[in-house]
Amino acid sequence: MEPRAPGATSEVGRLRTVVLHRPGAELRRLTPRNTDQLLFDGVPWVARAQEEHDAFAAALADRGVEVLHLDRLLADVLDGPEAREELIAAAVDDPRLGATLRRAAVAHLSGLAPADLAATLIAGLAHDELRGGSGLAYRLMDRGDFVVPPLPNLLFTRDSSVWVGDQVAVASLAMPARHRESTITRAVVTHHPRFTGVEQLYDASLEHLEGGDVLLLAPGVLAVGVGERTTPGGAERLARRVFARGLAHTVLVVPIAQQRATMHLDTIATMVDVDAMVMYPAVAGSLVAWTVTADTPPDDDDTTDLVVRGPAPFLAAAAAAMGIDRLRVIDTGLDPVTAEREQWDDGNNTLALAPRLAVAYERNTVTNAALEAAGIEVVRIAGSELGSGRGGPRCMSCPVVRDPLP
């Protein structure tokens, strides 16, 4: 059976195909010394994280979802010279290296087979692993320093790309530790035969925009969080592009607190039904949105005149844009302490497999009970180690194919 053409117009249409990344050697690079720089809150038990991720992938497959693994897609495209050249160049584009060490790193990486090169681009290349290392920069490095840093956050495949309709937005990631993730995603969607002919809506050279901040509330309606990772300029650029390409008629721009606990919009709210959202109660009453539209026929990608209205309460603005009476909210805990704990543990970060069917971390017992009381079936997965990078089931998944809503 031929794979279906990629595309998604909502957060809750039945999920058919998803991209995941099974955590591997890159997590073994984490130490107490580098977790802050690499954006993890702790040093995970890697074998257990892999077991948890395998169970997550199996839960999706058991419900008919095709699971594509990012490292395998990457190895496929590294069979071709163009992707190899692009990704090796990106890996050594680092002012720390200097010309001599950069040449040595290019020679080392160029000699690797596709699967080995994919593994090295993800796990990084340490000083002592480099064949033929030389030069001043190399000599001044400590043995444990990285010539090519690892990408432990590649686990969170939602952030580096998001599909809007039949086009893919390759994200412009804000944190330096994550910049190369976008180069990998771009290479895969550009060169892999699975994505032949797909048009790219956004790219990493533009203003910061991350997939975790983009919610497809309904066909034609996007919500974009702006805060720690996505800038107002990124939201504005995306709005112009989706309007010019006929992919949306309304974009809600939602300011969120610029802090670690609420780094993306999907850390405080995710869709679980066509008219229902699980939301952190501490922000439910205060969250606002600016409604962005284009009153005149869209011109082109980057010059379309925008009309900005607001701010208005987010829930009211969202319901109006979606054409429904109200957006139902499912709280993540009634008392403030429980709500804060479960928000930190990604209780709001659910992955909808279909309307009223969502994957969630098992540890968020109060949130999961609230979801079930509201008629949402919950597929519980373990996440004690996966969550050390601050991400839940939605963060760890990039939907590629969803059914349109009726």
**Tokens representing 52?**
């948890």
Beta bridge partners of 358: 352, 378
Q: How far is Cα 69 from Cα 66, in angstroms, rounded to an integer?
A: 10
Q: How many residues are present in the chain?
A: 406
Question: What is the 3-state composition of the chain as percent helix, strand, coil, each rounded to the nearest 5?
Answer: 40, 25, 40
Q: Enter the DSSP assignment of 335.
A: S
CB–CB of 188/134 below 8 Å? no
Task: Give φ, ψ of 20 to 5 degrees.
Answer: -120, 165
Q: Is the peptide bond before 311 cis (omega within 30 degrees of 0)?
A: yes
CB 237 within 8 A of CB 290: no
Helix (H, G, I), strand (E, B) or coil at 256: coil
Query: Angle between the 114-123 and 70-77 helix axes, to the nearest 10 degrees?
Result: 130
> Does residue 398 carry a catalytic annotation?
no
- The catalytically annotated residue of 395, 396, 398, 400 is 395
CA–CA gap between residue 332 and residue 269 (Å, rounded):
10
Please tell me the distance from the alpha carbon of residue 105 to that of residue 200, in angstroms, as a whole number. Answer: 30
The alpha carbon of 219 is separated from its chain's Cα centroid by a whole number of angstroms, namely 20
Q: Please tell me whether residue 135 adopts helix, strand or coil conformation.
A: coil
Q: Name the strands in the sheet holding 288-293, side by side, starting at the edge strand that comes first in the sequence.
A: 214-218, 221-226, 250-255, 288-293, 307-313
Q: Are 177 and 37 in contact (CB under 8 A)?
A: yes
Q: 129: closest CA among 147, 115, 114?
A: 147
Q: Are 171 and 234 in contact (CB under 8 A)?
A: no
Distance (Å, whole) CA 321 – CA 319:
5
Interstrand relation of 167-170 and 200-202 (parallel, antiparallel or unpaired): parallel
Please say whether the beta carbons of 358 and 371 come within 8 A.
Answer: yes
By annotation, the residues acting in catalysis are 395
